[in-house]
């Protein structure tokens, strides 16, 4: 059976060897924002320019590469690990502005950033839509949420009307 906590600890150790900056996204990141739901993997965001180094470090530390593209890498090991590669200014900004979570003692992407990533995810994979919309609806209730930033992400995918419906 896969162990997500062990997976996260191994990611921290592996990337810490070379001081690779990363931020938690996905289901575990929801927990850092006070939203709890089951998840089967750890999702992180890294600078896409560090893709090869990160791949090398993870493989060296016991992970096995399952899939690789210009946008994502997927591994297994003690658990499943998905790595989103920040290659564009908006995603690089998400990584840069990620802040330390007391819950996990690692950087976590903002609620606004996670909403943007979830919009992108369900646009790219329609089978994710219902879960991602439920996650977005929960994130929209986070205190201090910057709705202008959420709109900026939603407008990239022409999804502001969907977000407005969730806000009602």
Q: Domain 1-109 is in which class?
A: alpha beta
* pLDDT (0 to 100) of residue 68: 97
pLDDT under 70 in the chain at which residues? 1-2
Give the residue among 15, 19, 28, 6 at the shortest CA–CA distance from 58. 15
SS3 state at 77: coil
CB atoms < 10 A from the CB of 69, how many? 8
* pLDDT (0 to 100) of residue 98: 97
Q: Extract long-range pairs of 57-60: CB within 8 Å, 24+ residues apart.
A: 57/14, 57/15, 57/17, 57/18, 57/20, 58/11, 58/14, 60/14
* pLDDT (0 to 100) of residue 1: 52
């Amino acid at each position: 059976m896969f162990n997500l906590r062990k997976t996260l600890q191994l990611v921290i150790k592996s990337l810490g060897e070379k001081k690779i900056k990363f931020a938690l996204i996905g289901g575990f990141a929801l927990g850092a924002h006070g939203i709890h739901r089951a998840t089967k993997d750890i999702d992180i965001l890294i600078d896409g320019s560090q893709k090869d180094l990160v791949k090398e470090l993870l493989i060296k530390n016991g992970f096995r590469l399952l899939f690789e593209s210009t946008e994502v890498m997927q591994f297994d090991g003690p658990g499943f690990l998905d790595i989103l590669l920040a290659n564009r200014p908006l995603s690089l900004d998400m990584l840069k502005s990620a802040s330390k979570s007391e819950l996990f003692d690692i950087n976590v992407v903002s609620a606004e950033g996670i909403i943007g990533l979830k919009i992108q995810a369900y646009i790219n994979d329609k089978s994710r839509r219902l879960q991602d919309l439920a996650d977005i609806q929960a994130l929209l209730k986070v205190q201090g949420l910057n709705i202008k930033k959420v709109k900026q992400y939603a407008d990239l995918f022409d999804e502001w009307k969907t977000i407005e419906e969730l806000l009602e």
